[in-house]
Each structure stands twice: as C-alpha cells, then as structure tokens.
Amino acid sequence: MKTIETEVTITAEGQLVAHIATAEVPPGHYRAVVVLEAQSIAEDEIEDFPVIDVGPWPENLSLRREDLYGEDER
C-alpha cells in the first residue's frame, strides 16, 4: 500500500482528475480511497502565496552543530 498526497480537480461531470509523478506508481488499475478536505483550495490562493527571496547562502556557511552552538553546545 502506498500513500500519495496530491491536489485533485472534480469536474462538473463528476470526474475526479489527479496528477501524480509517473515514477511513483507504475501504470495500471488500482483501488484507491479518496479523502476530501472540507474546504476546497482556490487556485489564486496557491499562486499568490508570498515568497521571500533572501538570495543565495554564503559559500562558507556551516550548519554543523559545533559551529552553531559553540564549545558548550548551547
């Protein structure tokens, strides 16, 4: 059994349209369980999601625990 989380569209004709990466599941017939959230997702909500670009990380940035917390590891 595999769990795939994706967005779906339900057409006026009652068809459910879902797109998944083809590498995740090989083509074929499957039994699926669909859980719909109570609130639908408006397309403009996704497109207008705020993004803050702070530029590239410094080349010498180290995120090692020892470098972040120092000698006393706090």
Within-domain flag for 74: no
How many domains does one find in the chain?
A: 1
Within-domain flag for 18: yes
Torsion, Cα of 60, 64, 70, 73 (10° steps): 170
Within-domain flag for 55: yes
Q: What is the secondary structure of 6-71 as a DSSP string? A: --EEE-TTS-EEE---TTTS-SS---------SSPPPHHHHHT-------PPPTT----HHHHHTT
Within-domain flag for 11: yes
Residues 13-70: pLDDT tens digits?
988 888 887 677 788 888 888 887 776 666 656 666 778 888 999 999 998 888 888 7
Question: Against a cut of 0.75, is the pTM above it?
Answer: no
Please give the residue range of the domain that contains residue 10: 1-69
Could you say which DSSP state residue 2 is in? -
Within-domain flag for 36: yes
